[in-house]
Structure 1
Amino acid sequence: MTLAPDAHRQLSPAATMRLLGTWHAGGPAYTALADALRAAVLAGTIAPLTRLPSERELAPVLGVSRTTTAAAYRRLRDLGFAASRVGSGTVTLLPRLAEAPAGGDVAVPDAAGTLGDPLARGAAHPAAPSGVVHPVLLNQATAPAAPEVGPAFERALAALPEHLAYGGYAPYGIAPLREAVAARYRERGVPTTPDQVLVTTGAQNAISLVVRSVLGRRETAVVQSPTYFHALDTLREVGGRVVGVPTGYDGLDVELLASTVRRTRARMLFLIPDHHNPTGTSLTPAERVAVRELAERTGVTVLADETLTDLALSGSPDANPPFAGDGTSPHLITVGSTSKSFWGGLRIGWVRAHPDVVARLVRTRQSTDIATAVMEQLVAAELIGRRDEILPGRLAWFRERRDTLVAALRQALPWDVPVPDGGQFVWAGLGGPLAHAFAAAAAAEGVMLNAGPTFTPDGSSQDRVRLTFPHSPDLLEIVVPRLVRAWDRIR
């Protein structure tokens, strides 16, 4: 038995139950529990070096016998995802490489300790070497860089010397990029000047900056449910109370949204107006008008995440009117990014808001992030300026992968698999509250995906899972048989 290392944190039985959700949908209970715990470790929901509750404490909370929890912990240890010793309990581990024991494959990180795409690393097959199943990350919406990104870096390097004579700190962002972002808004019909633009280190940094500036402790933020889970994390980290309004393929109930904002006296409203994560839907023109009018009536600050706006896979990229309308409302703040349109490795985002709001955000950012790297800003400015040349090929790339995954899922599984109009996700319906159990079973088959409740503030969407499709068609075809095996396991 591997001796347990010192734990950095400890989970209570109640917290463990909450993180696992509906974990048992059939089959041996100990196997399902071990799979759910292993999936949580691989997904980062339960961090490595976390002390789990004792077998005796966890059993009654989950409604199983102590024999079941003991067998589940033993399986975790056999798979290399936990270690135990007397007096220290059972501590979670993230193995660098694990051989599959008798009774099942194991999803493991690669030799570098990362959970990468094996085909992208040049592996001949995701199941090689024998006895090891490399995980496929359908829980990450990351795509390779657009072909134009590399040459843009070369040209940016040539332009860099004129910036080297200065200190390198540009708290608002460098002038060429702020103008490029402002020009993009103007092209979409939103009058914008560079003093309304703040460059950030990625969209998540922009969201965090706005939330910290606007939302106080115990103040309420209303969100679409489901929504982007890192936004949920940020809202909770500042001590905000998060209330969800259901959204789906039948649109956003703006009357319910308005009553929720009024009833809770919400300070902030977070929305994804275009190609929503995870459903891929967009707000209609009437819904956009209704939200803007709500902001004017109530004074609620609306933070709109437009990171996915460019990724229109059905119809024109500019088919939807800009969320900000004419851009004059001080209550509307939008954030954007180069991560989905061009490459996530650039880590360039921005905020578009009233100049007074931008100035306040600059003061707020000084405590954590003084400025954004100049080189990457030069690259982003060029890519945004050449957006009309780059995006058609980029969208065709995404569209091919969307169609491949949707067709394969529809053929192999009895799910509700809608075709998203944009974005990078398939929000699949399982027909019952099986999301956590299926995510755990899929992890055991070497596929990481997100259970629906991850995207909600209240644990709903238990009948949905999110799968990302920016992967090679060969890899997507290999994934589906694993998902079928996982489905058979919980059925």
Structure 2
Amino acid sequence: MVGERRINGHLLARLVGPEADGRPYYLALGRAVSGLVLDGRVPTFTRLPAERDLAAALGVSRNTVTAAYTWLRENGFLDSRQGAGSWTVLPEGGSAPGVLMPRTDRIDLGVAAPSAVDGIQQAARLAVDQLAVHVGGIGYNVRGLPELRHAIARRYVERGLPTAPEQIFVTSGAMHAVALLMDILTEPGSSLLVESPTYPHALDAARRLEARVRTVGVTPSGWDMDHVLDAFRRIRPAAAYLIPDFQNPTGVLMDDRERAAVAAEARRAGSALIVDEGAAELAIDSGDLPAPLAAHDTDGRVFTVGSAAKSFWGGLRIGWVRTTPPMVERLTTARQRLDLSSSLLDQLTVTHLLADTLRIRAERSRQLRRNRDALVAALREKLPDWEFSSPSGGLVLWAGLPSAAASALAESASRHGVYVAPGPLFGADGTLERRVRLSYAHAPEVLVEGVDRLARAWTHTPSRPGRVHHGLLG
């Protein structure tokens, strides 16, 4: 792994430019680079440019860069070998929490799973009434129930993306869809480009398939598109997994221009795009939303994943892929190694809910706005030193801590009766110790109490980095 990733002097200089603020400059530079490593914007085991090259890009003396590299080595962020160069690493840390799953014995700010929308019981009753039409058959629909495929295709058309039912493949949840696509589009040892931070389940699926995970950074301000496009040019990944709609966990939204640029660069690189739209229907603030990334696809390389879990209810284990009809057939074949069909009753229920999408979207938006605003207000009152932006959609807030102590905070928070998702869960290599993800899926009064407990936990949190076992959560 050492030396496989590289970053040139020009790109590193641009990344550290706004971060390297202070004197002496070598120290500001070293801290800026360590911050990029901790935030996952420069992955671990990335070979840094030669001192001379970085000095030229920054317009400083080589001695300044030498001093910065020395500081990085002394503080555990850089390793070097004679004749092989220097590459980024992480300092040794302590222990950290293991797998995070939904918990009922604490206030759970870790898992982003909203309550069911109004109307779900009526939709389920209608689904039961329709069973008489289906019970004479075997109940398997390998590609998905025809009525549901029509309803999903119609929703894409309403969003401005022409889609036929034959382009829809129904799965047992979004992660089922992502895992199937990764299985088809990658091979052991092939490169898979992912965001950092990103959805932990997707990282886990990539590791099980033995893909070589490569990362591009996403900040609370959005994607560094020069870095993203450069990654496609350098790595030429077999596939990339992206979350352009209220990205999990940062909450940022990719604009139309950025989506078009990503689709074009992926086409030039010969890369497939797995686009996770699980939160695409969860806009909170008013304003025009960008078109689906697949609207910029010209040759069928964009595979869009959708889900009923976030929009309607997590108990409905229905997801889907929008793709080409030939790819639907490949997915049908791949699926049969795992299962034969999604739940018929769930598919019927989701079909009815999709017919009521506009009302449900408005209801969910009002609910999430109320919850988000309560969480934001409580954080600003109880934890004023934390940094964050109020997300314009989705289910989560990505908070920045004053020190690299996310894993330690998660341990302390658990003892105070609240669960949070520490940043390293969302990184490919244990970075992001200055970040935590907080879900605002709960009612305002629960969120206020959760933040109160979290503030007490923070006062008892040692300021230290910790290693984290890769957990799985929503």
TM-score by shorter chain over 0.5: yes
User: In structure 1, how many angstroms separate the alpha carbons of the residues matched to 2:368 and 2:91?
Assistant: 32
Q: How does 1:66-77 map to 2 (within 5 A)?
A: none
* Range with greater deviation from structure 2 (443-452 or 202-211): 443-452
Is 1:149 the counterpart of 2:137 in the alignment?
Answer: no
**Counterpart AA for 2:341:** A
| Residue of structure 2 in register with 1:460 after alignment | 431
How far is 1:165 from its partner? Answer: 1.8
| Residue of structure 2 in register with 1:237 after alignment | 208
| Residue of structure 1 in register with 2:403 after alignment | 432
Secondary structure of the 1:304 match is: strand
How far is 1:435 from its partner? Answer: 1.1
**Counterpart AA for 2:98:** A
**Structure 1 outlier segments of 4+, above 3 Å:** 20-24
**Counterpart AA for 2:109:** L
Is 1:174 the counterpart of 2:145 in the alignment?
Answer: yes
Summarize deviations over 1:168-227 as a string: whole Å, max 9, x none: 111000111000000011111111111100000000111111111111101111111111
Secondary structure of the 1:246 match is: strand
| Residue of structure 2 in register with 1:375 after alignment | 345
> Which of 104, 115, 129 pairs up with 2:103?
115
Checking the alignment, whether the CA contact within 8 Å between 2:263 and 2:296 is kept in structure 1 is no
Is 1:391 the counterpart of 2:449 in the alignment?
Answer: no
Q: How many pairs are equivalent?
A: 372
Secondary structure of the 1:343 match is: coil
| Residue of structure 2 in register with 1:358 after alignment | 328
Task: Say if 1:21 and 1:303 are closer, same or farther in 2 by CA, change over 3 A.
Answer: farther
User: In structure 2, how many angstroms separate the alpha carbons of the residues matched to 1:313 and 1:201?
Assistant: 27
Q: How does 1:304-343 map to 2 (within 5 A)?
A: 304-316=275-287, 319-325=289-295, 328-343=298-313
Q: TM-score, normalised by structure 2?
A: 0.76
Summarize deviations over 1:317-367 as a string: whole Å, max 9, x none: x62211111654311000000101110101010000011111101100001
How far is 1:253 from its partner? Answer: 2.1
Summarize deviations over 1:55-93 as a string: whole Å, max 9, x none: xxxxxxxxxxxxxxxxxxxxxxxxxxxxxxxxxxxxxxx
User: In structure 1, how many angstroms separate the alpha carbons of the residues matched to 2:290 and 2:91?
Assistant: 36
How far is 1:440 from its partner? Answer: 1.4
**Counterpart AA for 1:386:** D
Checking the alignment, whether the CA contact within 8 Å between 2:178 and 2:202 is kept in structure 1 is yes
Checking the alignment, whether the CA contact within 8 Å between 2:109 and 2:450 is kept in structure 1 is no
For structure 2, the 5+ residue unaligned runs are 1-89, 463-474
| Residue of structure 2 in register with 1:480 after alignment | 451
Secondary structure of the 2:294 match is: coil
Is 1:283 the counterpart of 2:254 in the alignment?
Answer: yes
* Range with greater deviation from structure 2 (163-172 or 332-341): 163-172
User: In structure 1, how many angstroms separate the alpha carbons of the residues matched to 2:296 and 2:165?
Assistant: 16
For structure 1, the 5+ residue unaligned runs are 1-19, 25-32, 45-113, 117-133
Question: Percent identity at matched positions?
Answer: 39
Summarize deviations over 1:139-172 as a string: whole Å, max 9, x none: 1111111011010001111111111121111100
Checking the alignment, whether the CA contact within 8 Å between 1:23 and 1:436 is kept in structure 2 is no
Q: How does 1:13-162 map to 2 (within 5 A)?
A: 36=96, 39-40=97-98, 43=100, 115-116=103-104, 134-162=105-133
**Counterpart AA for 1:115:** R
Secondary structure of the 2:303 match is: strand
User: In structure 1, how many angstroms separate the alpha carbons of the residues matched to 2:397 and 2:92?
Assistant: 21
Summarize deviations over 1:272-311 as a string: whole Å, max 9, x none: 0101100111111111000110122111000000010000
| Residue of structure 1 in register with 2:45 after alignment | none
Checking the alignment, whether the CA contact within 8 Å between 1:274 and 1:281 is kept in structure 2 is yes
| Residue of structure 2 in register with 1:272 after alignment | 243
User: In structure 2, how many angstroms separate the alpha carbons of the residues matched to 1:484 and 1:390?
Assistant: 34
Across the aligned residues of Structure 1 and Structure 2, the Cα RMSD in angstroms comes to 1.7
